[in-house]
Amino acid sequence: MAGSRVEVDGSIMEGGGQILRVSTALSCLLGLPLRVQKIRAGRSTPGLRPQHLSGLEMIRDLCDGRLEGTEIGSTEITFTPEKIKGGIHTADTKTAGSVCLLMQVSMPCVLFAASPSELHLKGGTNAEMAPQIDYTVMVFKPIVEKFGFRFNCDIKTRGYYPKGGGEVIVRMSPVKQLNPINLTDRGCVTKIYGRAFVAGVLPFKVAKDMAAAAVRCIRKEIRDLYVNIQPVQEPKDQAFGNGNGIIIIAETSTGCLFAGSSLGKRGVNADKVGIEAAEMLLANLRHGGTVDEYLQDQLIVFMALANGVSRIKTGPVTLHTQTAIHFAEQIAKAKFTVKKSEDEEDASKDTYIIECQGIGMTNPNL
């Protein structure tokens, strides 16, 4: 095997950390040596950043692999995976780097480990440019578990930009195979709920204002549903640093979940944060898909590995999703098709069906 490395161009499509996450996870799972070149070549700070390093080192440790080229700013890495093992693994971004992205890269791998795993992930739990941990637990978890596995996610401490300092413990057992999913029936929205939080020195009024503004914004468009957004003061011993934010979830009659979320920044008033999350949720409800724009790309690797044909209905296909599909086809040899939805109710909307013939990955250890 060692002669034939998979060659990945890290500058195409999404051109960032996502290519590293998808390609190293698939390389680890399939036991294929990998070289990624031109890492983040087009970004303002090219090459590896600290949070990418912690993700790569975690994958290396999960499988006792060999990793070369891992310095900050490096634009090329090589990775030689070995057998995936369970047990306790720790990854620390040492910054506000996202624990949710660490989870994204490691989860498919530990599903095919030899024994149960416990992942201690440290960094930002509610960080910019990444899913919030609340999204991971409230939306990603129930949907991804449809592939036929369970995981437990224990939020020990929340951490915010710029310090990080959060910690999440993920526990899961390996599976023999993943089942394909079929998420094509959206149903109708039955519930809207969420949480608006403040942590550290921020006054509780900020949480109440975010929640109230979000509720007002949603009521303009959806009048017949009770919108239940809880304002929350994070307990001092369970939050590191200062932060505020909001996540709002819509649930449908068929169990589909959509979210809108937003994080407070210095100088941005609370109402604006609430309205931004509400508008994101409403936009995700307009396209007629069964998953929101952030879940799309997170399901691609699982679809590629599953044993059979998976289908999801989406709104406009994001660049992250196109990137994940590209590398799942290149590295795992899964087959994807993306077609405009032909259902009558989707005729006027930008709705697509992503279909995948999965490779039926089998856990060699079980």
Binding site feature residues for ATP: 104, 294-298
First to last CA, the chain: 23
**Over the range 200-233, which residues count as b (16 or more CB within 10 Å of their CB) and which as e?**
bebeeebbbbbbbbbbebbeeeeeeeebebebee
CA distance 134 to 127: 11
CA 178 to chain CA centroid, Å, is 18
Catalytic residue of the set 52, 89, 287, 320: 320
Contact 362, 177 (CB under 8 A): yes
- Cβ neighbours for 168, distance < 8 A, ≥ 6 positions apart: 99, 103, 120, 121, 125, 133, 153, 154, 155, 156
Instruction: Find the helix packing angle between 17-30 and 50-62, rounded to 10°.
Output: 10
Tokens of residue 175, six digits: 């599976």
Tell me the binding residues: 104, 294-298
- Asked if 326 is an active-site residue, the reply is no
DSSP 273-287: HHHHHHHHHHHHHHS
**Over the range 80-89, which residues count as b (16 or more CB within 10 Å of their CB) and which as e?**
bbeebbbeeb
Phi and psi at 233, nearest 5°, equal -100, 115
**Over the range 241-250, which residues count as b (16 or more CB within 10 Å of their CB) and which as e?**
bebbbbbbbb
Contact 79, 33 (CB under 8 A): yes
Give the single-character DSSP code of 71.
S
- What order do you get walking across the sheet with 239-240 strand by strand? 87-92, 117-123, 166-172, 151-159, 239-240
Q: Which residues are catalytic?
A: 320
